[in-house]
Structure 1
């Protein structure tokens, strides 16, 4: 008699190729999560994705420190996410985790940490950021993982400007325009979010040499709140989620 397992509410990001009848071997960390945190048993089914091959249902056929899963069925075709870059000033980990998670949930494809004058810390753990991003993608149902780049100086952003992209700086001084005026019919958008202490006057003056200014309202927002607010506008006028 064929064994029948449960359909578990688990999505796992893997780096290997996914295809009908392929065998996936999980690492120790993922195996521990499957076996001891989620209490999976043999023949249980979970969802797998790798950012390239869509989302698949896989069946656990061996539970161990290197759990093995047989890939059975394609349930969602891979889609191409519209290019959207978030450039954000480096913040402390308590806020940084929210920034990474929210940017992942809201469709950012490329994250660029930046050094600005008023940052509270210059330290950023990119491995930890990538881990947070993967966890967010697993939880929100996204099919790909954003790329998180090494930090650069704020002034280096101008070197990334081309005729094909559009830089939007979130101006906390109130000088920015309304979203409907600057986001409509734009392609390849780069959203720039400042530090908790705000941009310096020199930084803002420099930014307006290659950026459009976006107003997020009359109140001063936390960095992670500003990320959500700005990306919500972008999704409305650009990504059309």
Structure 2
């Protein structure tokens, strides 16, 4: 039986006793059927990971007693996902898989062809936190509130940003990603693709490069995950030995 991992955005030190969130208490007690004295791991990017035990657990309240640190904090890749606001199930899945793939931030954007104009940032942040607890990373990606694509590009810090451009005759993503190092970002449009003029506007930014993901037209959520995997393999921490 695996040891549950719990993210706490609080200072972690050996000997401390810290409260968990109501969602964590519910998950431990109701879903996992754990109780006082059972082992857990508590972590965050700032302090690393600590062996811990459940000191108290009642309905939606829990306390966690921290033992020794078992994993030191370490730098994680600055890989960013900018993705058009998709329908709920698709966007939930993208956030979960992007977290597993190691992204540092997730920026939903509205575009001319977006079919969704509202994004529940709190729900997506909770999905990211749960995925981080499952995949053994130390950090949880920042999920930003949805914003217009143009505003996001205008505020971008200049890091390379690749954009999935179907039917544009763009260079294969492999050829471009192989020349890059992090930080960098991956931009994916809505279900119907970018409006051509919108894509032209995006690629006028010096830091934006259009790339192709092969001969097939992919669903937006597939393109998001496929592009992140290529970037991690060629420019990210999958290259670490």
Work out whether the TM-score is over 0.5. yes
Q: 1:16 aligns with which of 1, 7, 10?
A: 10
**Equivalent residue, structure 2, for 1:59:** 53
Equivalent residue runs for 1:23-62 within 5 Å = 23-62=17-56
**Equivalent residue, structure 2, for 1:222:** 219
**Equivalent residue, structure 2, for 1:156:** 151
**Does residue 213 in structure 1 map to residue 213 in structure 2?**
no
1:54: how far off?
Answer: 0.7
Aligned to 2:83, the other structure's residue is in SS state strand
Q: Is the 8 A contact 2:172 2:214 kept in 1?
A: no
**Equivalent residue, structure 1, for 2:117:** 122
Larger Rg computed on CA atoms: 1
**CA distance, structure 1, for counterparts of residue 71 and residue 195 of structure 2:** 46
1:8: how far off?
Answer: 4.9
1:191: how far off?
Answer: 1.0
Structure 2 CA distance for partners of 1:35 and 1:217, relative to 1, 3 Å: same
- Range 138-147 or range 61-70, more displaced: 61-70
**CA distance, structure 2, for counterparts of residue 70 and residue 240 of structure 1:** 32
**Equivalent residue, structure 2, for 1:194:** 189
Runs (5+) with no aligned partner, structure 2: none
What is the RMSD of the two structures over their aligned residues, measured on CA atoms? 1.6
Count of residues paired in the alignment: 234
1:9: how far off?
Answer: 2.5
**Equivalent residue, structure 2, for 1:168:** 162
Q: 2:74 aligns with which of 55, 70, 79?
A: 79
**CA distance, structure 1, for counterparts of residue 153 and residue 126 of structure 2:** 29
Aligned to 2:46, the other structure's residue is in SS state coil
**Equivalent residue, structure 1, for 2:128:** 133
Instruction: State the TM-score, normalizing by the size of structure 1.
Output: 0.91
**CA distance, structure 2, for counterparts of residue 161 and residue 60 of structure 1:** 42
Q: Is the 8 A contact 1:99 1:223 kept in 2?
A: no
Task: Show structure 1 runs of 4+ deviating over 3 A.
Answer: none
Q: 1:93 aligns with which of 88, 92, 103?
A: 88
Instruction: State the TM-score, normalizing by the size of structure 2.
Output: 0.91
1:160: how far off?
Answer: 3.0
**CA distance, structure 2, for counterparts of residue 174 and residue 219 of structure 1:** 13
Q: Is the 8 A contact 2:50 2:67 kept in 1?
A: yes
